[in-house]
């Protein structure tokens, strides 16, 4: 099947999902962001890393990056709207990164590997299928998980949400006012009561998808350990939470829009805006 069929098929799928009625499916900003990112990464990678002529690189990047971007958009929307299906969304998002990485390296994208190669990082475990299963330890997520597991204080481990969200989830059932939640690689903290936790969880799950974005560019493996170093460039909003204008940064806007949390957030006062990703370190200093 030609790549044009893939693009038409995915466009149709996105269009059909859009009929379901959730605004995220057909949000042109979100789609353009995903498609633009993957086309740009593929194009630059092809030229810089593999010295392909710009004309050919752009043509290929346009086709492969578009499909990759639509896969990512589908995954982000599923995970943002339905935290219980976050693993499905995350699998599509990681499929998008895998597709763009193959595109950069000049490997075929629209062949059998489109069905047979999949990856999924659940908390600190990285699964890969490429005809046979591979399990690796995600080193960076494991380091963060270990650090936070040994400092649980008022948080309770939430097994169900941990299983379904793809990150280790801790919930604070009695949080101080203004706190909501935050994400560090592999771990989600929710500072909220049970009833209104869903949009906070969705927002943080989107951050966990963003943290996989860098692996579209490159990832490193050593023995049975995976190093997704670019997590630091693309997906650790907690590190940026103390920066000014936290809520207007692009990764926050994207997380809000996919999770549908923008409207809810705007009903809170600025005084309460500790940020949906306020890191524990910052809070402890207060």
Q: Which residues bind Zn ion (CB under 5 A)?
A: 252, 255, 276-277
Q: Which of 41, 180, 146, 32 is nearest to 97 (CA)?
A: 41
- The smaller minimum CB distance to Zn ion, of residues 31 and 255, is found at 255
- The smaller minimum CB distance to Zn ion, of residues 30 and 255, is found at 255
- The DSSP bridge pattern shows strands 225-227 and 133-138 to be parallel
CB of 118 to Zn ion, least distance (A): 27
- The smaller minimum CB distance to Zn ion, of residues 65 and 235, is found at 235
CA distance 136 to 24: 33
Task: Locate 217 and state its tokens.
Answer: 């560019």
Q: Which of 7, 17, 137 is nearest to 70 (CA)?
A: 7
């Amino acid at each position: 099947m030609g790549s044009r069929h893939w693009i038409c098929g995915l466009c149709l799928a996105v269009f059909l999902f859009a009929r379901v009625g959730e605004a995220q499916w057909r949000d042109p900003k979100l789609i353009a962001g995903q498609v633009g990112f993957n086309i740009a990464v593929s194009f630059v990678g092809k030229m810089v890393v593999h010295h392909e002529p710009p004309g050919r690189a752009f043509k290929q990047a346009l086709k492969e990056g578009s499909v990759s971007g639509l896969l990512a958009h589908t995954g982000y929307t599923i995970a943002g709207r339905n935290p219980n299906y976050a693993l499905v969304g995350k699998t599509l998002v990681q499929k998008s990164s895998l597709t763009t990485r193959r595109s950069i390296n000049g490997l075929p994208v629209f062949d059998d590997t489109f069905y047979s190669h999949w990856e999924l990082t659940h908390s600190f475990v990285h699964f890969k299928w490429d005809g046979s299963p591979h399990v690796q330890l995600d080193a960076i997520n494991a380091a963060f998980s270990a650090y936070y597991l040994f400092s649980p204080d008022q948080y309770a481990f939430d097994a169900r949400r941990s299983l379904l969200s793809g990150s280790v989830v801790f919930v604070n059932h009695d949080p101080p006012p203004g706190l909501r939640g935050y994400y560090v690689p592999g771990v989600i903290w929710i500072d909220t009561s049970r009833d209104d936790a869903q949009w906070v969880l969705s927002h943080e799950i989107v951050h966990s998808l963003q943290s996989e974005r860098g692996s579209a560019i490159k990832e490193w493996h050593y023995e049975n350990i995976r190093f997704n170093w670019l997590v630091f460039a693309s997906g650790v909003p907690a590190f940026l939470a103390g920066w000014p204008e936290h809520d207007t940064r692009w990764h926050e806007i994207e997380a809000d829009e996919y999770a549908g949390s923008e409207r809810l957030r705007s009903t809170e006062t600025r005084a309460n805006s500790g940020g949906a990703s306020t890191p524990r370190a910052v809070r402890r200093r207060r």
